Amino acid sequence: MRRKISLLILLFGVFILFVRKDAFLPGSASQTESIPPSPSSDTRKDSVPELLFFLVPENISVRSYFKFLQKVVADYQPRVPYPLSEHLLVRANPWMIDTLQQTDYYRRKALGDTVWVQTDECILHRGDTLFFPDSMAAVALQDRIDHTSIDVNIPEFRLRILEYGKVVYVFPVRVGQNRVRFLAEAGHSVDLRTRTGNGSVIRINRYPVFVNPVDGKKFTHTRRDDGVVTLMPQIPWTEVELDGMRYGQMIHPTTNPNTLEKAYSNGCIGLGEADAWRFYYSAPLGTQVTFRYDLQVVNDAGDTITLPDIYKRGKKKQAVRAVIGVFP
């Protein structure tokens, strides 16, 4: 009897030892539950590493800037779960806009420097870091972009950038002249007054060709307000449509800021060079725009004032003829 009891105890001990040893074998249930499961491929692509970045491999000038950004966006789009664009990337790295603004001829002149060839100016240096926003930051930034609008009040000579209906930037501008003039580019006489209406940004030209609309001749140089002649800067031009019509009205930089706050152009809205960069990165395709002619405005002191009627709206209106594709 004692022998049978001893044998049973021995067998029970062997059984317990086997079960405990099995618990620590590779792939056992106990071991698998103690290690966090590795994320699946679907999980990984739904988020962006907090410090996803790109090191600029070489110096990038204004001349090659847009093509370089286009390649970066194309290369990194598969690595992020949101639609990546040039505007989103640059807005996530706002120092780039500051650098672009510093190519402004007049800003640099104030610092004792002369920008003769703006396209040779270095925007990105070798080793500079471009950061990609994580998913939450990208969504928030894109929402700001989607809720940005442009407001131009013609007799006030002001362009405003609004986010969620609130003004974030105000720029002085020049507007169309109060006259009718023959333009070779149009092939007929044109009312040069800037048109009003509601619409959107429909085209961006990052490589504008400069043509004098009066005689149709191309040009590559510009005479600055100080009499210095430089090459034309490369800054994007933006075309808008208003109430479904394309009048050839562009929003673009002027190399002569002395003409700002005047009715001077051939219908377009002119901005200072630095302001034109800030505008460009606030107004991608589809951005809502309003061109209005309001003489009653509230000044900085909170008083309502009446602006001069630069187009003499009280008099008989001149005949209006649309000009398509003209770059005043």
- C-alpha distance from residue 74 to each of 69, 93, 127, 139 (Å): 9, 17, 20, 19
Phi, psi torsion values for 41, nearest 5 degrees: -60, -35
Residue 281: count other Cβ atoms within 10 Å of its Cβ.
18
Strands (E), the chain: 53-55, 60-61, 122-124, 129-131, 148-153, 158-163, 166-172, 175-176, 180-183, 188-191, 197-205, 221-223, 229-231, 237-242, 250-253, 263-265, 269-271, 288-292, 296-298, 304-306
Contact 231, 116 (CB under 8 A): yes
Instruction: State the pairing for strand pair 263-265/175-176.
Output: parallel
Q: How far apart are CA 263 and CA 70, in angstroms?
A: 36
pTM, full prediction: 0.81
Q: How far apart are CA 158 and CA 152, in angstroms?
A: 6
Q: How far apart are CA 180 and CA 183, in angstroms?
A: 9
Instruction: State the pairing for strand pair 250-253/237-242.
Output: antiparallel
The domain spans of the chain are: 47-141, 149-306
Q: How far apart are CA 164 and CA 150, in angstroms?
A: 11
Burial 40-51 (b: 16+ CB within 10 A, else e): eeeeeeeebeee
Question: Which residue's entry shows tokens 């002249």?
Answer: 177
Predicted local distance difference test score (pLDDT) of residue 29: 34
Q: How far apart are CA 267 and CA 251, in angstroms?
A: 10
Q: Burial level of 222, CB count in 10 A (0-12/13-18/19+)?
A: middle
Predicted local distance difference test score (pLDDT) of residue 242: 98
Predicted local distance difference test score (pLDDT) of residue 185: 82
Q: Quick one: 149-306 is in which CATH superfamily? A: L,D-transpeptidase catalytic domain-like (2.40.440.10)
| 328 residues of the chain, pLDDT tens digit each | 445 445 444 444 544 444 343 433 333 333 322 223 333 334 344 565 557 999 999 999 999 999 999 999 999 999 999 999 999 999 999 999 999 999 999 999 999 999 999 999 999 999 999 999 999 999 999 999 999 999 999 999 999 999 999 999 999 999 999 999 998 888 899 999 999 999 999 999 999 999 988 888 999 999 999 999 999 999 999 999 999 999 999 999 999 999 999 999 999 999 999 999 999 999 999 999 999 999 999 988 889 999 999 999 765 444 443 333 333 3
Contact 276, 258 (CB under 8 A): no
Predicted local distance difference test score (pLDDT) of residue 14: 41
